[in-house]
Chain A
Amino acid sequence: EVLLVESGGGLVKPGGSLRLSCAASGFSFSSYTMTWVRQAPGKGLEWVSSINSISRLIHDADSVKGRFTISRDNAKKSLFLQMNSLRADDTAVYYCATYTSMGSLEYWGQGTLVTVSS
Chain B
Amino acid sequence: DIQMTQSPSSVSASAGDRVTITCRASQGISNWLAWYQQKTGKAPKLLIHAASNLQSGVPSRFSGSGSGTDFTLTISSLEPEDFATYYCQQTHSFPLTFGGGTKVEIK
**Which residues on A are within 8 Å of B, measured CB to CB?**
35, 37, 44-47, 50, 59, 61-62, 95, 100, 102-106, 108-111
By beta carbon, the residue of chain A nearest B97 is A47
Interface of B: prevailing SS = loop
How many interface contacts (CB-CB < 8 Å) are there between A and B? Answer: 59
Residues of A within 8 A of B46 (CB): 104-106
Binds A, one of B17-25, B70-78, B86-94: B86-94
Q: Let me know if A106 and B96 touch, CB within 8 A.
A: no
By beta carbon, the residue of chain B nearest A57 is B94
Q: What separation, in Å, do the CA atoms of A50 and B94 have in the docked complex?
A: 9
Q: Let me know if B45 and A44 touch, CB within 8 A.
A: no
In the assembled complex, the CB of B7 is this many whole angstroms from the nearest CB of chain A, namely 14
Contact of A47 among B36, B45, B50, B95 (CB under 8 A): B95
Q: What separation, in Å, do the CA atoms of A46 and B98 have in the docked complex?
A: 7
Residues of A within 8 A of B45 (CB): 108
Residues of A within 8 A of B101 (CB): 44-45
Q: Let me know if B95 and A108 touch, CB within 8 A.
A: no
Q: What separation, in Å, do the CA atoms of A106 and B35 have in the docked complex?
A: 11
Q: What separation, in Å, do the CA atoms of A95 and B101 have in the docked complex?
A: 17
The reply on B68 being an interface residue by CB < 8 A is no
